Structure 1
Amino acid sequence: DARGPQMGVTEPLPHRILPVVGIWTRDKDYGAYLRQVERGNIVFGGAAERVSVDLDPGHAKADPARLPVQLRAVARLLPAIAQAAVIRTWSGCEGYVRDMLPVIGQSATTPGLFHAFGFCGHGFQLGPGVGDAMAELITTGHCETPLDDFSIDRFSREA
């Protein structure tokens, strides 16, 4: 499913936050993330329902009406953001898997084919660990990390 995540950025604030900070939850009003760039701006996302995408030409537009819910969620992580001015919002086109979990593991139909896709916006967090797991699976045929919940055939089991 193609949808557009809503992102925003604040005016510059004193630079104090070094890591990316976030929480993921299935409750769309609570999951949020943020990072601060060197200039001091806080870049944030999450919480807002994803917007629809015009697949031709592949554009999505941020919805200003969704910003208050998004800012409340981000303020749970960083209360000071409630006093900051939001200077820009945007969206883009991303593909999402129905259950919002990636597909990781061996193909259910094609020997020698391995999957690692459908990260639905959380690939940066999972990428390094998935790379290790895939390398182990491809080179040894098994993986110490349980991957069954991410199997491609989970969709055929839903019926």
Structure 2
Amino acid sequence: AAQFGEEVPLEARGPQMGVTEPLPHRILPVVGIWTRDKEYGAYLRQVERGNIVFGGAAERVPVDLEPGHARADPTRLPLQLRAVARLLPAIAKVAVIRTWSGCEGYVRDMLPVMGCSATTPGLFHAFGFCGHGFQLGPGVGDAMAELITTGRCETPLDDFRIDRFSRAA
């Protein structure tokens, strides 16, 4: 976007994730809570093999953009486990077998950028999902396909326009 004159306050950060040893498969939905108090927000899901994949609670870790890696911080794991145990108390007795992090883009206002370029006809943006890309991906794909193919979108996208940053200045 910046190459087309559309600056966006985007920061690379890494969410810290963990996975437990396999347990009997019983949890079908993704379970989570979002709160502005980062120590309480957490989420988990159980994969078919039985492992529980969890994240949240801890601040995002720094990302080294060359080569694009983030490293999990083991000192943050106890905070994460306390938050996840509020959702699933039994997890306190389960072994964590690995942790990891990755690189995600976080926009200053924590909203993604979606829609037409404000500077370049035929250019469309969909980025900066602040850790919610997998959840929003199918809907974003539908909305962007409609916008690109018809020039309009039934889903309101105004709050996600790229020029919201230049208008705020």
Q: TM-score, normalised by structure 1?
A: 0.89
Q: CA deviation at 1:118?
A: 1.3
Give the 4+ runs in structure 1 shifted more than 4 A: none
Q: Output the CA distance in 1 between the equivalents of 2:122 and 2:47.
A: 41
CA distances 1:92-118 after superposition (whole Å, capped 9, x unpaired): 222222222211111111122211111
CA RMSD of aligned residues (A): 1.7
Residue 59 of structure 1 corresponds to 69
Q: CA deviation at 1:56?
A: 2.4
Q: Output the CA distance in 2 between the equivalents of 1:66 and 1:158.
A: 35
CA distances 1:16-68 after superposition (whole Å, capped 9, x unpaired): 11232233344322332212122211011112101112222322221122112
Task: Indicate the percent of aligned positions where both proteins have the same amino acid.
Answer: 91
Residue correspondence of structure 1 range 110-129 to structure 2 within 5 A: 110-129=120-139
CA distances 1:111-149 after superposition (whole Å, capped 9, x unpaired): 222111111221111011111211222233222221111
Q: TM-score, normalised by structure 2?
A: 0.84
Q: Give the gaps of 5 or more residues in structure 2.
A: 1-10
Q: Give the gaps of 5 or more residues in structure 1.
A: none
Q: Output the CA distance in 2 between the equivalents of 1:45 and 1:19.
A: 15
Higher alpha-carbon deviation: 9-18 or 79-88: 79-88
Q: Output the CA distance in 2 between the equivalents of 1:20 and 1:105.
A: 28
Higher alpha-carbon deviation: 73-82 or 44-53: 73-82
Higher alpha-carbon deviation: 22-31 or 83-92: 22-31
Give the count of matched residue pairs: 159
Cα separation, partners in 2 of 1:25 and 1:114, compared to 1, 3 Å = farther
